[in-house]
Amino acid sequence: MARGDTPQDSYHLVGISFFILGLGTLLPWNFFITAIPYFQGRLAGANSTNGTLGTNHNSPVDAFNFNNWVTLLSQLPLLLFTLLNSFLYQCIPETVRILGSLLVILLLFALTAALVKVDMSPGPFFSITMASVWFINSFCAVLQGSLFGQLGTMPSTYSTLFLSGQGLAGIFAALAMVMSMASGVDAQTSALGYFITPCVGILVSIVCYLSLPHLEFARYYLAKKSSLAQGRELETKAELLRSDERNGVPNSPQKAALILDLDPEKEPQLEPEEPQKPGKPLVFIILRKIWLMALCLVLVFTVTLSVFPAITAMVTSSTSPGKWSQFFNPICCFLLFNVMDWLGRSLTSYFLWPDQDSRLLPLLVCLRALFIPLFMLCHVPERSRLPILFPQDAYFITFMLLFAVSNGYLVSLTMCLAPRQVLPHEREVAGALMTFFLALGLSCGASLSFLFKALL
């Protein structure tokens, strides 16, 4: 709780810094998937001067399954580091994790930009690109988790700003793609300018992070985090021992790691307010309460990542070749998805419907599975099994509007409702569990995308 002597955020510099840091955490994923046409051109055997930003090369890329692999190798690190975060965050100082991750991401993006100028055969180019995707997203996962840890002691407004920055990262990447294509320069210069843009974004993020210790408002909350963390660790360990002695449960490192991730602003309340069966860890009790929300979250992201961008990026305009055909996918797939997804997430600020007790929520989540066949039956020219039932552009645009809004809204809704189903002292563990199931849904969807692409 802020007191009267709490410093003020002069000129909102700390808020702006966390907004930019939020933008920086999701720039890599969005810039890679939005540039799929460029990578398709390179993997089709084209040299760096012919790897354009706006043209689909569907047929030759099928051998590499680039769309599927870039999605899978972007999401698996998130799942991995969600499982390892407690161990990793205790071993490596916070400043090293954040600044080191930003520097590695910057170097790898600089390598991606440099490769635009390098003629290379498709095989080695694919291997280098996939390695970059894996390592960039691994460090992004560490960066995101570490920044969320810093935000734990800040007022909730700063978490909102950070999430808003993340939400706008996809829009930023799509606009950068459209502007690069519309610039009128040659394809190589256009691609180079596109990949230099996130390098500048990461550099600005580094400057913002380095500026935080020099801002009195940020220093106040970050110093409070350090002092509270030390006292909380001792208090938590003592309370765990007392709780385990009462319940006859052996000390659990996993349980201690989860509890130590609690918000330092909140006093840990580990004494159960309801009967707890001996030998049953806290995490399973919480999971029993939020399992439906967790399952809904997994299903939402499984459906989304199974077709976006693996299938949706393959859809082309049914009109004759021209400017609209060239800009169709960047605008109608990536820009439209990110704008409507951000709008859907914003809607939960005004209402939460249906509530956690309604059977309508699981029904709506399950109905989203209809988008899988709908997108697969859109205008994807290179196919061998399924027919094209929705050739007009209007069908794809309509499907994408509903697909993106429902994704953003249902994700935000489940993340908002889950903490309401547990006791106050259980909410932080519930949040950690929901983060794990979020990563699980992303990974499941990315894995399923291989199957759905093979069915085309």
In this predicted structure, the answer to whether residue 365 has a pLDDT above a threshold of 80 is: yes
**Residue 152, pLDDT score:** 72
Q: How confident is the model at residue 84 (pLDDT cuts 50, 70, 90)?
A: confident
* Coil, helix or strand at residue 309: coil
How many alpha carbons fall within 13 Å on the CB side of residue 130? 18
Question: Whole-number mean pLDDT of the chain?
Answer: 82
Please give the pLDDT value at position 136.
Answer: 93
Q: What percent of the chain has pLDDT over 90?
A: 45
pLDDT-based confidence at 232, cuts 50/70/90? very low
Q: Is 327 left (phi over 0), alpha (psi -120 to 50) or beta?
A: alpha
- CATH number of the domain located at residue range(s) 281-455 in this protein: 1.20.1250
Is the confidence at residue 279, as pLDDT, over 70? no
Task: Identify the band that residue 212 occupies on the pLDDT scale cut at 50, 70 and 90.
Answer: very high
Within the chain, all domains assigned CATH 1.20.1250.20 are found at 10-45+63-230
C-alpha 134/C-alpha 393 separation (Å) is 34
pLDDT at position 308 is 95
Residue 131 scores a pLDDT above 60: yes
Residues contacting residue 116 through CB under 8 Å, at least 6 positions apart? 48, 51, 188, 191, 192, 195
Q: 138-177: per-residue pLDDT in tens?
A: 999 889 888 887 887 788 788 878 888 888 899 999 999 9
Tell me: pLDDT of 253 over 70: no
User: pLDDT value at position 203?
Assistant: 96
| Per-residue pLDDT, 290 | 92
Q: Average pLDDT for residues 329-344, to the nearest whole number? A: 94
Radius of gyration of the chain (CA): 23
pTM strictly above 0.85: no
pLDDT at 443 over 90: yes
Q: Residue 241's pLDDT band (boundaries 50, 70, 90)?
A: very low
Mean pLDDT to the nearest integer, 361-389: 94
Cβ pair 7, 211 in contact under 8 A: no
What would the two tokens of residue 41 be?
């051109």
For 189, other C-beta atoms within 10 Å of its C-beta total: 15
Q: Give percent of the chain above pLDDT 70.
A: 82
Q: Give the C-alpha separation, 233 to 235, whole Å.
A: 6
- Distance between CA atoms of residues 343 and 265, nearest Å: 30
Q: What is the pLDDT of residue 445?
A: 96
Has residue 427 got a pLDDT over 60?
yes
Calpha distance 166→415 (Å, rounded): 16
Asked if residue 51 has pLDDT above 70, the reply is: no
pLDDT at position 41: 83
Q: Does 368 have pLDDT greater than 60?
A: yes
Query: Which has the higher per-residue pLDDT, 305 or 220?
Result: 305
Query: Confidence class of residue 306 from pLDDT cuts 50, 70 and 90?
Result: very high
Number of H helices, E strands in the chain: 17, 0
pLDDT given at position 15:
93
260 confidence band (pLDDT: 50, 70, 90):
very low
Predicted confidence band of residue 78 (pLDDT cuts 50, 70, 90): confident
Could you tell me which of 265, 337, 252 has the C-alpha nearest to residue 33?
337
Mean pLDDT of the 64-88 span? 85
The reported pLDDT for the residue numbered 238 is 44
56 confidence band (pLDDT: 50, 70, 90)? low
CATH superfamily, domain at 10-45+63-230 = MFS general substrate transporter like domains (1.20.1250.20)
In sequence order, what E strands does 341-396 have?
A: none
Q: Which of the residue ranges 155-159, 201-205, 390-394 would you say has the lowest mean pLDDT?
A: 155-159
Q: Is the pLDDT of residue 451 over 90?
A: yes
pLDDT of residue 52: 60
